[in-house]
Structure 1
Amino acid sequence: MTDDDREPRQVELVDDPGPRSWRKAFDDLGRGWKQRALWGYLGWQDIKQRYRRSVLGPLWISISMAVIAVAMGILYGALFGEDLATFLPYVATGLLIWNFVQGSIIEGSEVFIANEGLIRFLPAPLSLHVYRLVWRQTLFFLHNLIVWLVLVIIFPQPIGWTLLLAIPAFALLMINGAWIAIVSGILATRFRDIPPIIASLTQLLFFMTPIVWQYDRLLSMPAVAERARIAEINPVLHFVEIMRQPMLGQPIAWHHWVVVGVITVVGCLTALVALRNYRSRVAYWV
């Protein structure tokens, strides 16, 4: 027996926090953000592939939005007796915001299922697919923003410095779109009934959200004002209002911002818990 054999061997301890770890959850988000060149490119390619061999290409996004906004604005404006000069921009702005919310909710529930091949064979953080989804929805939003700009030029609105509030409002939309995609995406990989349920509920939310009807108009009617406040149970209403009010120069109702702030904090914490506990299982569930 040599002297080396007599010496006690030191066992090297590996700092492995295990599959359920806050550090790994935050590391996933951080590594995903560092790969923004990749998900930024993939998000843009998603749009190009959708309109491949099309003459107008991504301009169809704005055209589709314009046709729907004008058609619904004229139809519901006539039904409700609204002034088109104010109602058309109102409907178009609501649809602009709603399309982002709807895309984040519906596509978010399938964000990991749709990327099954990449998740199984590409060692990348889960958050990369979420960032890619939010970026793609942001590109759709920017394309549709052209419709809002044209309508505001044709029908001038009392827009002032409060328009700047639309920037933090959209940032809140992006953050909430990300946590919704994480939570619903993880749930959907385990329970495949989640995406169709979410799609059905989203259709219902459209009619409960003041897109083609004016919430403030109902509040101004004494006969239905109290019952109209029931609409504030719908969380999407608050997200729409924090963006639409500054974009149309309407008075800012700060209680919508408070509600959105609370939802954002609770949602982000929920997403972190889901990412901590189940991120390692997604590859087996998809």
Structure 2
Amino acid sequence: MSSVVSDEIPAAPLVSDSRTMRRAVADLSRGLRTSELWLHLGWQDIKQRYRRSVLGPLWITIATGVTAVAMGLLYGELFGMDIKFFLPYVALGFIFWSFISSSILEGSAVFSANEGLIKQLPAPVSVHVYRVVWRQLIIFAHNIVIIAIIFVIFPPPLNWTVLLVVPAIGLFVLNAIWVSIVFGILSTRFRDIGQLLSTVVQLVFFMTPIIWSTQSLTSATGEESSRLKIVELNPMFHYLEISRGPLLGESVQFYHWAIVIGCTVVGWVLAMFVMRNYRARVAYWV
């Protein structure tokens, strides 16, 4: 029997492109283009949270305002601070910290909290990230009322530098997106991460100058103490400086901006790595 030699060349194995940077960027882009969806979902989250409430979302403003005023008066008296400076200082710190902490905690649960929607709705993963960030922006917008009221009572020495709060908020949004991507995907796979973040965020709150001022760490001669240098190792300190400083009429040194921008770049590099490798697995992990 003559042997038959096949001239066919074996086909190359198909390589899936689900774990490519192109697919990760496409997910972020398509999610951004479906803004009508995540804008609606984010607003519905706020309405659902305060359903059948008389004041509705105003409870956000009331709760934040009462806490900020109470803490400002209490710690201002304890530290012997001028209330005209310290109350706006604490109030702004609470408002911006609320955005930061909520972005971390709610961002870590963004996918596990939307399990049903993820399995039923064929939408980009980034839609749920944009949704939670949009929700935090709505809450932040409600808290602007507190800033307006305090500035009417205690008008700060504002100048053109107040405009720097706009790029500061833009950096907050960029950081909220990458934080939600990284911690959201990792917490979906390892559920203990969400519990760990709750503890860490609470600890960082007391380590960040929100209810206390860095002025209390400065010596009587005006020299910076070693404790102040330790505070500067906390990235959250720099985030508050670039956002709170301009609204208080203070000049913000450039190194605060450089550190925040650096953290943003590093965070986005990490987010793209996570999106590239684990984005397709989210639907199976939830």
- Aligned residue identity for 1:34: R
User: Counterpart in 2 of 1:218?
Assistant: 217
Q: Matched residue of 2:157: which SS? A: coil
Displacement after TM superposition at 1:271 (Å): 0.1
Distance 1:246 1:217 in 2: 20
User: Offset at 1:221?
Assistant: 4.6
User: In the alignment, does 2:39 pair up with 1:45?
Assistant: no
> What are the within-5 Å matches in structure 2 for residues 55-134 of structure 1?
55-134=54-133
CA offsets 1:13-61 (integer angstroms, 9 cap, x no match): 9x97522011100000001001111101111111111111111111111
Residues 105 and 180 in structure 1, CA contact (< 8 A), matched pair in contact too: yes
Q: CA deviation at 1:234?
A: 1.1
Q: Deviations over 1:176-218 (max 9, x none)?
A: 0110110011110111100000000000010011001111442
Between 71-80 and 113-122, report the one with greater CA deviation. Answer: 113-122
SS at match of 1:103: helix
Match of 1:184 in 2: 183
> Is 1:139–2:128 an aligned residue pair?
no
Q: Distance in 1 between matches of 2:218 and 2:225?
A: 4
Which residue in 2 is equivalent to 1:229? 229
Is the contact made by 1:188 and 1:194 (CA closer than 8 Å) also made in structure 2? Answer: yes
| Residues 205 and 256 (structure 1), Cα distance of their counterparts in 2 relative to 1, 3 Å cut | same
- How far apart in 2 are the matches of 1:17 and 1:239? 40
What do residues 60-109 of structure 1 show as CA deviations (whole Å, max 9, x unaligned)? 11111110011001100110011111111000000010000000010111
Tell me the amino acid that sits aligned with residue 108 of structure 1: G
Please name the residue that 1:6 is paired with: none
Cross-structure match for 1:196: 195
What is the letter of the counterpart of residue 192 of structure 2? D
Q: Deviations over 1:237-271 (max 9, x none)?
A: 11111000001111212111000010000100110
**Contact between 1:73 and 1:212, CA under 8 Å: does it hold in 2?**
yes
| CA RMSD after TM alignment | 1.8
Deviating above 6 A after TM superposition, structure 1's stretches of 4 or more consecutive aligned residues are: none
Which string of whole-angstrom CA distances, capped at 9 and with x for unpartnered residues, describes residues 221-244 of structure 1?
A: 557612221011111111111000
The separation in 1 between residues aligned to 2:224 and 2:268, in whole angstroms, is 35
Task: Among all aligned residue pairs of Structure 1 and Structure 2, give the percentage whose two residues are the same amino acid.
Answer: 53
Aligned twin of 2:4: none
Tell me by how many angstroms 1:219 deviates: 3.4
Q: Distance in 1 between matches of 2:208 and 2:123?
A: 37
The match for 1:159 is 158
Distance 1:220 1:139, change over 3 A: farther
Structure 1: runs of 5 or more not aligned: 1-12
> In 1, Cα distance between the equivalents of 2:233 and 2:46?
34
Q: Could you tell me the TM-score, scaled by structure 2's length?
A: 0.92
Match of 1:271 in 2: 271
Structure 2 match to 1:250: 250
- Distance in 2, matches of 1:275 and 1:64, equals 36
Secondary structure in 1 matching 2:169:
helix
Deviation at 1:156, TM superposition (A): 0.8
Counterpart residue identity of residue 249, structure 1 = G
How many residues in Structure 1 have an aligned counterpart in Structure 2? 275
